[in-house]
Structure 1
């Protein structure tokens, strides 16, 4: 009866002289619906209303699911409902207009209104193929599996002609190095590099506009010169200059991320790539009326082919960071990989660098530093890949373990004193502490005795302190070895051009460890 009542209201307003657009706006319906009602007489409308009452709709089997989504998230769009249905039922074949109509009917029946925000944009001419990529950053707060809010950050790229998109997420703010790495992955995803890239005045890439002579950050300036693209800077939230990527930022937030539960970063990025393939780059774009994936197949032929890895930073693409968790593992592509016990530090920096070489995952303490672990890459999900050397040594008791450690020092009396004090300080974590000591002995053998002497002198009874001091002494020695040849060459130079670097004694750092300023 509601539709019959609407039919009569349309005819009444038309008789009163209202235009089609005014009737549609006044009744909150589309102009096509107004035309449909005006082309019917009362008998035809009555028969049509009766037929719709008993008609079975394709989406009726999903009615309860869609209704639960709308009740939980009243601002959910029909486009997002469509994507969620496709994600849950990959083989579903239902048109976008069918879903829009069904969602609209559910809102009317159950009185679930939706707020609509309208923003005016001025039309701009389409750019030629391969001409431009627009880049922007975004952030959104979602809930994890425990229901706690977590803030996520993302970077978006869109080819201006085809509207083909790429998105990558982080659980921390982006750095310039992250930005460069994501550019490389986007170029690989697009199949080439455009002539121009558009940004707003973001601190990650620019220092100052300098009256048109743009000053870029050091890292990004080197990257721009290496890749050879032009840069165009515009104001923030400028729809005339980069409205396409601003729309993508909103699209990613509202269609992909909104109301989605965050499991972990790797899974989130995997789901986003699947969303791009399924929805973001597949659905017909409203302005061009074409699918971005189909237009991109032509546009990528106009992009400059992506060369090999960057000469100034060959590991930008392969090397990415991960966080060491308290159980001494890192997560990579939905699996867990072990690192040596003692790698995790409760009050320290737990960032490590990973890279892949074929089927091998390599974990490093620093970008070019020592290798902490190597693992064969697991292609499953939810697996724990653990190296036996990364576990506690349970083959012998604490006393035997202590004796093994002490024998490896030159001054065994000092070593025995140190391990006894460590055992007193950390009775619950004796094995873990001994494991860290053994790690320090293995990796910093030449400086381990000097580090032991410093710890005893400064009364630093912790295996982590022993390891850090030994590592610091090793780095100092390496720097001196590098500087030695240069100092020999400098002897012939004039005193005015000789510069001596200021060095600090090891006591300076041990005071900092003890909290003494």
Structure 2
């Protein structure tokens, strides 16, 4: 067998140099038959080791019969059934080769999306540290939504992947951004949305929008391939070379970049997403005519430590709410605490850092005043109690005071002292 280099040289000499076969054989020192075989094929020579029989060959009919009955039968069970006593490696390799012929076909179908039909959703965690304040940095999730028909992409960085933040992110992207709602939202098994079953909060949100939320089966990546590819596109085309000063700066840059990205020619549809967007949005559902919902809300009673906790952070509340039950309402940008009769007792900008205590100066000043008044009242009560314990004189009550000589006469210490009849 000749080498690939010799095969190439033979063909060059014969075709380019017009050299006869006999001359090529003399020039390269090989036989004429070797030259003829090299010129007879357009494929380079490949060495193939002569096939030898395998110990599994004798057992192959039995293996095929077992796989015909049970295509998913493990190789270890097959080895037991056929009485295999040799190494498992060669048996497993043969079973791996034979099994696909007996498994039912599971082809991936190409899905055609109708306008307004659905949008795929996912969380993308950009591999870059974002400053979060208070000397902290992190990698918050980015909610990415891709429309099936137009391939329009939208996204927003969120403080966390909890249900309240996910719902608020959906509202801002769909109601404020697209100003329309796809009929179906496709999600995988994200804990904040639901695993196998929607969380009660997200089910309520879906009911508000009148949409269907489809939860993909486990290990079914093709079900949300659009948004998975969009995540990769963001990571390779948007992220490189960018510097962010915080989450707001990230969202600002992402929004500006998506306006450009959605004007590119999309390879799978051979069209620009913006060109198909009007038809897509026209077929979507209208946004419900309600105020933006604050789905992260709970009620709590304000104790002497007038703070409430949202996620991992504590936010101060005006001390006038101490002892009262309040409603805490939070979204991606703001934390609001409301007492009865719509009395707003706290309003804070949402903190993205973790394990922080945020105090409003007005709340601190009011607490100092109330604390001083309480200390003064406590001191007054303590003084009154102490005076009562000492006696009437300490309370400032006027009593009759006799002259000292009266007591001297009483005890006969001076003349004119009282007699026995006087002292009784």
TM-score tier after normalising by the smaller chain length: 0.3 to 0.5
The two structures have a TM-score, normalised by structure 2, of 0.48
Greater length-normalized contact order (CA 8 Å, ≥ 6 residues apart):
2
The two structures have a TM-score, normalised by structure 1, of 0.40
Structure 1 or 2: larger helix share?
1
